[in-house]
Amino acid sequence: MQVPLWEHDTILSVERLTMRFGGLIAINELSFKAARGHITAVIGPNGAGKTTVFNCITGFYKPTEGRLVLYHGKPGSDLLTPLTDGATPDISDQQGRVFLLERLPDYLVAQKARVARTFQNIRLFSGMTVLENLLVAQHNHLMRASGWTLKGILGLKSYRQAEAAAIAKARQWLERIHLTARADDAAGALPYGDQRRLEIARAMCSDPQLLCLDEPAAGLNPKESGELNALLRGIRAEGLTSILLIEHDMSVVMEISDHVVVLDYGTKISDGTPDFVRNDPKVIAAYLGAEDEGEVKAIEAEVGV
């Protein structure tokens, strides 16, 4: 069997991640890898710990134990030990840079490690316009260009050019998600499906290396769900951003993902290609609530796998 891509071109490596809340173990020694350029899906029954994994990756929770390694480019594997032993959050060589995400505060996970995310419940800046939402995502770039606001107030040329470029980029994304006509409307006024796509476009405007999507298809009708799949496939085809997604909608997962990781009660029960996972008895058991191997066999016979 050939070595899967996530083993040798890794963007994110979750290593023995444990997250406890008091006596409750939400995630227990979870390890998996996500490949660069792939769409990796994290699935599992409700309460399996999927969103907790996301919260650890994006710096909202500090993991109780474990390591979250993010790679930009292909830095030498010998960097990881000195990085772990040292106190800095990142280290680099000629080929790239390695980050330990658990050492970064949330805004630096976005700013330096370039991880963007969306939420299960949409979190647009609903009082700002659609276009402004896309500009906020380009904040750090624009802030530098505005000379920390001084050039912005004076309206200097270098800032005006940077702003024009940011607006052009935002407009490109609006084009892609078919919202050009609504650029100046309040984001909160958009229909639900449009808000979902706008949230993804906003995350993409921050030029992420890794895009984490928390149930992007939740609440979408089949047409909207189809548009979402097309958008995600488009991002994958460009090859600049890897995607990690949590999803309940199996049709979305099986259709667009390259790699599926299955969680149950905070531990990994299966990891592989969509085909492999679909036929894994442990996954079937977890989803259908079977107690032991015997029952699993019976269920398998029933559903015909």
Partner 1 sequence: MAGQPSLGQGQGIVEYFAQQLINGVTLGSIYGLIAIGYTMVFGIIGMVNFAHGDLFMVSSFIALLVFLFVTTIVGITSLFITLTIVLLASMFLTSLINWVIEKSAYRPLRGSFRLAPLISAIGMSILLMNFIQVAQGARNKPLAPMLTDVIKIAGEGNFVVAISYKQIVIVAVTALLLAVFWYLVQRTPLGRAQRACEQDSRMAALLGINVDRTISITFVMGAALAAVAGTMYLVYYGVVNFADGFVPGVKAFTAAVLGGIGSLPGAVVGGLLIGLIETFWSAYFSIEYKDVAAFSILAVVLIFMPQGLLGKPEVEKV
**Per CB under 8 A, 169 contacts partner 1:** no
**Per CB under 8 A, 21 contacts partner 1:** no
Strand partners of residue 35: 10
CA proximity to 30, closest of 47, 49, 2, 10: 49
**CA-derived radius of gyration, the chain:** 21
Region of 18-26, 200-208, 227-235, 295-303 interacting with partner 1 (CB under 8 A): 200-208
In this complex, which beta carbon is closest to partner 1, that of residue 34 or of residue 109? 109
Q: Given candidates 30, 110, 170, 261, which one binds partner 1 under the rule CB under 8 A?
A: 110
Kindly tell me the burial class for residue 275, based on how many C-beta atoms sit within 10 Å of its own C-beta (0-12, 13-18, 19 or more). Answer: exposed
**Per CB under 8 A, 209 contacts partner 1:** no
Q: Given candidates 10, 13, 52, 146, which one binds partner 1 under the rule CB under 8 A?
A: 146
Q: Given candidates 106, 224, 249, 300, which one binds partner 1 under the rule CB under 8 A?
A: 106
In this complex, which beta carbon is closest to partner 1, that of residue 29 or of residue 207? 207
Kindly report the CA angle at 133 between 128 and 139, in degrees rounded to 5? 120
Q: Given candidates 62, 86, 96, 107, which one binds partner 1 under the rule CB under 8 A?
A: 107
CA proximity to 228, closest of 264, 253, 210, 259: 253
**Per CB under 8 A, 52 contacts partner 1:** no
| CA–CA gap between residue 198 and residue 200 (Å, rounded) | 5
Instruction: Catalog residues that contact partner 1 under the rule CB under 8 A.
Output: 58, 60, 105-111, 116-117, 119, 123, 125-128, 132, 135-137, 139-140, 142-143, 145-146, 148-149, 152-153, 188, 202-203, 206
